[in-house]
Amino acid sequence: MRASLCAVLALGASSVACGAGQKVMIGFLHREAAQHQAEWRDYRYRQALVRAGMDGSLVENRPLFHGKVDEAGFLASLKAFNAIVLVTSEEGVFSFAELRGNCGAVRRVLERYVADGGGLFVLLQPHRYPNSDDETYYNHLLAGFGVAFLHEGTFDPERVFKAPRTLCLPQWDYFWTTAIRPHPVTEGVQRLYLPKLLFERPGVAAFRLDGPWTPLVAGEASARSFVQHKNDNLPDWTKQGTYATSPPIAAAREFGKGRVFVYAAPSMHVFDNFGNRLWPHIAETEGDAEGGKPSHGNRLVTNALRWLGEPSLAIEGYGNYRDVPPAPIVFPASVDWDKYQFAPAAKPDAYGDGVPITFPEATVGIKGIIGAHTALTDGQGTVADYVAAAKKAGLRFIVFADPLELLSQEKLARLQAECAAASKDADFIAMPGIEYTDVCGNRWAAWGDKLIWPPAELDYRDRKYTLWDGQRIHLTGQYEHLCGFRPNALIDYRTLANGPSHPANMWWFFRVIPLAYEGAKPIADNFDAWLYSLRDLRWMDPASFTRVRSPAEVAQAAGACVTVLRDMAAAREWLDSRCTSFFSGARPYVTQGPLILSWEGLNTQMEQPVEITRGIQRVRLRFHVASDAGIREVRVHDANFGVIRRFIANGAKQLAREFEMVHDKQHFLTLEVLDTHGRRAISRYLLLFCYKSGLYRCGDNLNTLSSSAMTWHPDRAEMPLAKHHEDIGRISIAGFDTSSGVASQPSLWRYDFIRTAEHAPEYPAYRTGAVNKVLDVKLTSHDLQIFGFQMDHLIEGWDNERRPNPALASIPRRIGDLELFERSHTSYGLRSRVNYYLKWNHRREFEGTKDYRGGIIWHEGQIRFKKDLTLRGAVPVPLVVMDGPGGAPYRQFDHLFVTDRDRGTLGIALTPQDKEHHIAGRIAPGGYLAAMPTDVGYYAVLTSSESDFAYDSQDWDKSVAKFGRIEIGVGRDGQKVKAGEVLSYRFMVATLNDRRVSNELLEDMRRAYNLDGGRSGYPVSVKVGKLLDAQFFLTLEAEGGEAVLDLGPREMICDLPIRVRGIEDNGCAAVFSSRNSFHRFISVADGAAWLQEPTEQAASLWIGNVFAASDKRLKLTLVVHGQAPGKKPFLEVHNPTDEAVKATIASPPHCPIFGGVRREVEIPAGSSLQVRDLAMGEQ
């Protein structure tokens, strides 16, 4: 997402001129204010302001954290309002040093704004992550006003109130106070309820006041401040902090002509959820409602805002903004990528949103090594000695890796201090780092300014775990968390076999070392692991590792393998980055000699809707490499899917090539450069993707987190069964770190065991371990996602006496094969109807989800038994488990609809008295089961026509009448299976936002997706090719590389999934629809083309290879749109082989525009050519 910078950074407020009766205008500092304002004005806290007789808007907060501050412009944006709200960040400031300049400039602006008459409302929030600098930043920012965080929490243990139970929140503890001083801000404020915790950290931050402050709200005499640990930010309620009694909670002061108010409370209890009907409003208004003791938190807030804004009502230049309704979003009809040029003739331009496009000039970059040991451990020499040797060898940075087991806390501090001193040289960086061994025997390198000495133990959920025993790190996750997610890497992937462990189960790692050395000796070639990490959806950068134990070895090490970074500024950021570094400009690569002077892509992220913007699928790529020994070849790898381009240089000293690709699916492109001496260089990767529809991970490389609305975690062997409710943001409670939103909603998960007579009650037993699920990413695209899991072994469990929460532990070890069965599973996640370009780019949740009807994942799998067994239970092999909130008294999850094979379609409604109930049976082939309703909709399982599914709904929670713990799976009670026998299954899990208590939609879906095995769910007529199947997928067989059909009309939950077999994966597969009349490129995987098409309107479709070559080794890219106006289409043909290729390039006869075109081509080995004489009609 690119955020536009405007000369004035705030959006409007109320249209009241200066003078009598003028409203107080409130500006809320906010990230991406321009985007968020459209819906904030109609759905968020602005409504509370209007009811209180004020108005407001959002003000861009970018100057606080990004870029050079235009102090005059920022001040002007603030003065548009009578008062400004500054909510301190919970997270995001990870290095104060990087933001010191911004902090100083913004401080000057804020102090000038208030001194001239403005008001400032400061909401202090405890920050989230240990070893981060949020508090430091704000203490500097607010120092002139005399307020500072203490890194303590305020709480009153004698005045505790437990919140009533709700359907979507736990019963949080609050404390209350009536210690309130009379003041205009506290008029009508008699009592406040405040949260004890903000998740695991204190709910109310303790703070210090200096200067003429008037405390307005304090804790009672029994309230105190408590120490907050540095390592994990957790409060220690046994250790008193600064205040032995009555800590301040809110205070006010005059500052020049203006006023300042400070309040300590989480924003989720102040602004973020006010007015949300799902939020209990305990701090804001309700307090102890049953006891008749309301909380006046929101009254305090609105009083304060009014009081803050009053002085500037009479000051010219304040509060003069006008509310402007948001303009509709208009996407461009086309783009022209030819007007952008690669280096060295790069010219600034913009994608259309005001952000310049620039490419750095080709450059050698700066070199360095990672892995030096000093005399503090088993090496020789000091940091200064190494720096001198590195400079002499032409290096600009060196990263140390002293063995942790040979260090002490004091020695680590000394290493850090010496590196800091050496790095004061603007032309050199010395970065502290360590090597350590984890409990599985893996050797890691980790570096960064914020590395800490590991504590010996972790206290977690009333258990003590060994974190560091002096030789090994037992909890690598916790240690990385404590270090602030700094750069780290496994040195040799072969050591994973020591566990044994699988790289699919790794997390919180941010570099891959393709090549590792001991001095000049290679010790590990992890190139395959580098490629695997890309396919495994890891946001990753390459780094070299060269262990040296003496400054005398530096020169030889520098000649063996180095890491190269763009320049010094980028290197400082990259060497101490937090989590992934996808926004870094460092452009890292690892080399044994060849230079990657440039590796760039244009339009690597598809940022406009493909159905609207012509040419948005075009991608231009260019590399420039060099070697004094001469370049042999350059390979362009697409993760470990294979080499998709290969350029032969024949010993040329330099090679530069530009080539074309398209956004047909996600591509993970990395260069492997080989020179004539066999030396290699390995580049960073360029990801070709669409952020608004694709599959990728969170920036910490743990869970998946994307517009595909599917989330799972590799550290705990999860797999997704259902999509999230993608419109939940309309009602979700704000303030949670969640991928799915917080509301009263159903839950759905999987079981991994089977029930047999021989191994009762189930196998594998829960405490034995977890069934591992090794992810295999088969296809990721802007249409559907295809991924599989293999389940054949157990890994270590968690939340037990040996391992805590899985994210805090180490890589789980394989503990044995599954003895009774193994399972393979493939999932197909469909693109929903959410417009993520509106929802995410423009932050318009309501507008972006207006056409959303639900999400769908189709599942297919097999269970192969390894022994003769007798299955037991109503559902011997449970695959899906449903549960939900509430129950009949809440009218939530109290209805069940199921197409029972023996009893017909059942609709069951529970009454509040039905606390004990049980229903089980078999789902009719092509049937469904769903329990409902909830505030967001429900999940439904719909089975295929040939599958035999059982279900069992039991009253697990007998305290309330609800459908809880509904198991759905395969197998029959008493069924005997033989070793080698296979149970197959196919089913759909639909996430539906239907709020009705009805099975009308379910009946329609089973017909629409032909789950009865028929073909009448929607109108379809195949003109060219063959219709193979219509159950869920419309499956066709192409004829001569193409299929032609008429489709629709038919309403569907998601655009119809289509699979066309017989299409080549040559880079030139597309669909042409009569609805929009252009070729949209589509993905090919597993021998078929995959796409989704809308069916609401009837359309004629052509699907196939627009062009294909007689020699199937050739790769093709067609460029029609995305060019300068008037340019004709061309076809780029690439020959990756070692020999010249003569071939015929032809378009199938029914292909629109190009049908029947044939050209003879001859392409030299390892090169490309462009065919431009393509006969065509108008397009």
Structure-token pair, residue 918:
């049980």
Res 1178: pLDDT: 40
Res 582: pLDDT: 78
Res 956: pLDDT: 83
Structure-token pair, residue 161:
């109130």
- DSSP string for residues in 339-363: G---TTS---EESSSS-EE--PPP-
Which amino acid does the sequence have at 948? D
Question: Does a structural domain hold residue 356?
Answer: no
Full residue range of the structural domain in which residue 134 is found? 25-152+201-279+298-314
Q: Specify whether the CB–CB gap between 218 and 112 falls below 8 A.
A: no
The residue out of 576, 592, 608 marking a domain boundary is: 592
Same domain assignment for residues 1153 and 1091: yes
Pick the closest to residue 1029 from 1055, 1047, 1009 (CA basis): 1009
Res 1176: pLDDT: 55
Pick the closest to residue 731 from 934, 905, 902, 872 (CA basis): 934
Residue 858's CATH number: 2.70.98
Residue tagged 């861009």 (tokens): 60
Question: Does a structural domain hold residue 78?
Answer: yes
Question: Does a structural domain hold residue 994?
Answer: yes
SS (H, E, C) 983-1001: EEEEEEEEEECCCCCCCHH
Question: Does a structural domain hold residue 52?
Answer: yes
Residue 623's CATH number: 2.60.40
Same domain assignment for residues 98 and 242: yes
Same domain assignment for residues 659 and 777: no
Residue 800 pLDDT greater than 80, yes or no? yes
Same domain assignment for residues 986 and 1035: no
Please tell me whether residue 558 adopts helix, strand or coil conformation: helix
Cis peptide bond prior to 933, omega within 30° of 0: yes
Residue 1117 pLDDT greater than 50, yes or no? yes
Residue 1017 pLDDT greater than 90, yes or no? yes
Question: Does a structural domain hold residue 922?
Answer: yes
Same domain assignment for residues 642 and 522: no
Question: Does a structural domain hold residue 868?
Answer: yes
- β strands within 570-721, DSSP E: 589-591, 595-602, 618-638, 643-662, 667-675, 680-688
Residue 1003 pLDDT greater than 80, yes or no? yes
Q: Specify whether the CB–CB gap between 619 and 661 falls below 8 A.
A: yes
Residue 358 pLDDT greater than 90, yes or no? no
- Other residues' Cβ atoms within 10 Å of the Cβ of residue 533: 25
Q: What's the mean pLDDT when you consider all of the chain? A: 94
Residue 1025 pLDDT greater than 70, yes or no? yes
Res 10: pLDDT: 32
Same domain assignment for residues 1051 and 1124: yes
Query: What band does 359 get if pLDDT is binned at 50, 70 and 90?
Result: low
Structure-token pair, residue 82:
């009578």
Residue 457 pLDDT greater than 70, yes or no? yes
Res 1079: pLDDT: 98
pLDDT tens for residues 761-783? 999 998 899 999 999 999 999 99
The residue out of 314, 339, 358 marking a domain boundary is: 314
State the average pLDDT over residues 281-285: 98
Q: Specify whether the CB–CB gap between 544 and 370 falls below 8 A.
A: yes
Structure-token pair, residue 412:
């680590």
The CA distance from 896 to 928, in Å, is 11
Cα distances (Å, whole numbers) of residue 1101 to 607, 1039, 1093: 25, 14, 9
Question: Does a structural domain hold residue 192?
Answer: no
Please tell me whether residue 606 adopts helix, strand or coil conformation: coil
Same domain assignment for residues 509 and 630: no
pLDDT tens for residues 501-526? 999 999 999 999 999 999 999 999 99
Same domain assignment for residues 129 and 257: yes
Residue 218 pLDDT greater than 70, yes or no? yes
188: alpha, beta or left? (left if phi > 0; alpha if psi -120 to 50): left
Structure-token pair, residue 256:
């020049």
Q: Specify whether the CB–CB gap between 192 and 300 falls below 8 A.
A: yes
Strand order in the sheet with 83-87: 55-60, 25-30, 83-87, 119-124, 258-264, 248-255, 214-218, 179-180
pLDDT tens for residues 9-18? 232 333 333 3
The residue out of 673, 689, 705 marking a domain boundary is: 689
Res 739: pLDDT: 82
Residue 346 pLDDT greater than 80, yes or no? no
Question: Does a structural domain hold residue 291?
Answer: no
pLDDT tens for residues 676-732? 999 999 999 999 999 998 999 999 999 998 889 999 998 889 999 999 999 999 999
The CA distance from 507 to 803, in Å, is 16
Residues 6+ away with beta carbon under 8 Å from 838:
329, 844, 847, 848
Structure-token pair, residue 751:
């079981």
Same domain assignment for residues 749 and 877: yes
Res 341: pLDDT: 87
Residue 7 pLDDT greater than 70, yes or no? no
Q: Which backbone phi and psi does 662 adopt, to 5 degrees?
A: -135, 160
Which amino acid does the sequence have at 80? A
Strands 854-865 and 982-992: antiparallel
Percent above pLDDT 70 for the chain: 96
Cis peptide bond prior to 328, omega within 30° of 0: no
Residue 561's CATH number: 3.20.20
pLDDT tens for residues 608-653? 999 999 999 999 999 999 999 999 999 999 999 999 999 999 999 9
Same domain assignment for residues 984 and 1028: no
Same domain assignment for residues 423 and 548: yes
Please tell me whether residue 175 adopts helix, strand or coil conformation: strand
Q: What total number of domains does the chain contain?
A: 5
SS (H, E, C) 1109-1166: ECCCCCEEEEECCCCCCCCCCEEEEEECCCCCEEEEEECCCCCCCCCCCEEEEEECCC
Please tell me whether residue 1066 adopts helix, strand or coil conformation: coil
Same domain assignment for residues 565 and 602: no
Residue 54's CATH number: 3.40.50
Structure-token pair, residue 640:
């470990």
pLDDT tens for residues 833-882? 999 999 999 999 999 999 999 999 999 999 999 999 999 999 999 999 99
How many residues can be counted in the chain? 1179
The CA distance from 702 to 481, in Å, is 12
